Structure 1
Amino acid sequence: MTTSTDTSIPTDAIVVGIDGSACAELALDWAAREASLEHRPLVLLHAVHPPSLGAMAYVESSGMEYGDLLARLESDGHALLRHAAQRVRAEHDVSEVYERVRMSDPRTALLEAAAGASALVVGTRGLGPIRQLLLGSVAMAAVKHAGCPVAVIRGAEQKNRDVGVMVGVAGDGHDATVLDFAFRVADARGLPVTLVHTFWDAVGQAETREVPADDPRHANQLAVLFEAAGPPSRRYPSVAVHHLLSRGFADVQLIASSRRAALLVLGHRRKPFLQELIYGSVAPRVVEHAHCSVAVVPVGDEPDA
């Protein structure tokens, strides 16, 4: 394994955010395994938000030079990444590991690093909707704005989940990149893929939402799943494929089904800020409430209203 400490981000690398937390350690394990399985470079990224003007005044009043403080923060960041790289070296077969420290807002640093990445991997502390609204979330910023797939790792990887990689199929013409990512991960990890398509239908609280595969009333909806599975199945013939058709709200079905999945994959069309604020989006809601790790794949931007 080679370790580089320059400043560039290699194209098609797996980038993982490292901040010293337990959730970042889980993200590191997932990212390192993915980099090993796909034979890709791994970038360990640590970002430090420079102190505010108020904090700077306090630091200088205590006798410490502002420049010295920045140097100390940067040095601590490099030490954190060295430790992470050592763990990757000991536990995973990754040929290229790059350590990157950025003195900027972590959200900005991750989004910039993800520009040419194969995937961005982050941990989540599971703050919940109220604290998330008040405090903001690095993971949610990545989900909403990154230009590459974002894997939000929640808990240790579960190998015994019966549906393997679950992927939401919208049937709106934007599923190809989502399916390709899901099949790519499943193929590397030897997992099956379960395609889920949910169509709107009024359902009661106690009603079943899953539709039998032989129900002739929903043949057109079932066809969406079979047509979607065709191209990626030909590219990844060793991946076993299952189908799940359901009625109701897509986010409700995906969140409920995530209890059985090792990874949930879905697409996200980025919205203009005002539309995001008013209407929200399925992907952030699923990331917030899913019971497994979630990968969100960008499928383009929605136009301004």
Structure 2
Amino acid sequence: MTTHAREQHHPVVTNPSLVPYGAVVVGVDAILTDIVLDWAIDHARAQGRPLVLAHASGPAWAERTVLDAEQLRDKLVKVGEDALEHGYERARRRAGDDVRIERFVGIEDAAELLVGLSRRASLVVVGSHGRGPVGRLLLGSVGVVVAERAACPVAVHRPRRVGVVRQGVLVGIGATAHSRSTLEVAFRLASSHRLPLTIVHSRSELEATATGPHLVSGDALQDVDEERLQVAETIAGLREDHPDVHTTVHLARGRPDQALTSLAGRMDLLVVGRHDGRRGQLVGGTAISILEHSSCSVVVVPEVPTAP
């Protein structure tokens, strides 16, 4: 790209306070694929939100060297600007004038940068290497840390297997007072991407856990009236707000993470709530277990209990 063409860009942003509220923030690094970037661009356009391409040029460790600190900072910002060039041009071509696009470069650790930007974002999007028994290692510290600590939902995208027919968005809910935010995000994602939504309400039972998770659906729902009514009341308003979203409800018996990951193989997205404990960890390890073992992309939603 010529120097003249570069000058037509908006200046790269380095001050977090200049990042627009409600933006879709995408962490741009070596593992972010064009497929994931396109998903984020389309999501920002469907939601009518700005798109922020964010790159971490690393902590300013070199300030302790003989190099001038200001010169070093300018160099690192330039490195970040170059790293964002492809994504910026792709977003401009794909979204046109429909989406406001900003570039952000932070001179800090990638996870800390994205956690910080999550306080102003509506969604943070990151890529991942894959999945497996060493899923945490494959996800990388950035995806795990951001999913654990972000103030907004985090979409951790995985490589997609070719030839698999996907069946939309899957969301897992537990106690209804802790699931409202998770359900709202799932409905918005399904609506924005024109996908059906499968809702699974999971309750752990020793007998079911011993034999693995199983679903209780269809006519059998009539035999669990209290649970069925709780779920129906929880999703009623959201169904009215999103009449375009086709929903299916299942009750499951067994560990929530097992029930959800067993269904994830043919889903586009799996949405799960994060309930923070005193240490800011994912309570019971459920969300982390799903991140490590799900065979589809996962959206982790920070949940705040609502009044009964």
Distance (Å, rounded) in 1 between the aligned partners of 2:268 and 2:138: 30
Equivalents in 2 of 1:127, 1:56: separation in Å? 38
The answer (yes or no) to whether the contact 2:209–2:254 under 8 Å persists in 1 is no
Distance 1:14 1:208, change over 3 A: closer
Shift of the alpha carbon at 1:3? 4.2
In structure 2, what is the equivalent of residue 175 of structure 1?
179
1:270 aligned partner: 276
| Contact residue 258 and residue 291 of structure 1 kept, 8 A | yes
- Name which of 32, 41, 49 aligns with 1:32: 41
Q: Are 2:104 and 1:97 equivalent residues in the alignment?
A: no
Q: What letter corresponds to residue 217 of structure 2 in structure 1?
A: P
Structure 2 unaligned segments of length 5 or more: list them: 1-7
TM-score, reference length from structure 1: 0.84
Instruction: Indicate if the aligned counterparts of 1:169 and 1:266 stay in contact, CA closer than 8 A.
Output: yes
Which secondary structure does the structure 1 equivalent of 2:183 belong to?
Answer: helix
Q: Distance in 2 between matches of 1:67 and 1:127?
A: 40
Contact 2:114 2:146 in 1 (8 A): yes
Asked if residue 254 in structure 1 is aligned to residue 257 in structure 2, the reply is no
Q: How does 1:1-305 map to 2 (within 5 A)?
A: 3=10, 5-6=12-13, 7=15, 8-19=18-29, 21-50=30-59, 52=61, 70-93=73-96, 94-126=98-130, 130=134, 132=136, 137-156=141-160, 160-162=165-167, 164-201=168-205, 202-203=207-208, 209-215=214-220, 216-273=222-279, 276=281, 280-300=284-304
Q: Structure 1 residues 188 and 130, CA, compared in 2 at 3 Å: closer, same or farther?
A: closer
Change beyond 3 A, Cα 1:185–1:133: closer
Conserved in 2, the CA contact under 8 Å of 1:2 and 1:95?
Answer: no
Q: Map Cα deviations across residues 140-187 of structure 1 (whole Å, 9 max, x no partner).
A: 11111111111111124999412x111111134021111111111111
Residues 211-257 of structure 1, C-alpha deviation per residue, up to 9 Å, x if partnerless? 13212432322333322220111111111111111111000011111
The answer to whether the Cα contact below 8 Å between 1:267 and 1:296 also exists between their aligned partners in 2 is yes
**Residues 147 and 238 of structure 1, relative CA distance in 2, 3 Å threshold:** same
Provide the alpha-carbon RMSD of the alignment.
Answer: 3.0
Percent of aligned pairs sharing the same letter: 32
Equivalent-residue separation in structure 1 for 2:175 and 2:87 (angstroms): 40
Per the TM alignment, residue 205 of structure 1 is displaced from its structure 2 partner at its CA by 6.2
Separation of aligned partners in 2, 1:120 and 1:134: 19
2:3 match: none
Q: 1:258 to 1:67 in 2, by over 3 A?
A: same
Partner AA of 1:211 in structure 2: V
Q: Distance in 2 between matches of 1:3 and 1:253?
A: 46
Pair 226,78 (structure 1): closer, same or farther in 2 beyond 3 Å: same
CA 1:276–1:41: 2 relative to 1, 3 Å: closer
Contact residue 213 and residue 255 of structure 2 kept, 8 A: no
- What TM-score do you get using the length of structure 2 for normalisation? 0.84
Q: 1:263 to 1:130 in 2, by over 3 A?
A: closer
Gaps of 5+ in 1: none
Pick which of 152-161 and 69-78 moved more. Answer: 152-161
1:65 & 1:2 partners in 2: Cα distance? 27
> Would the aligned equivalents of 2:131 and 2:295 in 1 still touch at CA under 8 Å?
no
Look up the SS of the partner of 1:214 in the other structure.
Answer: helix
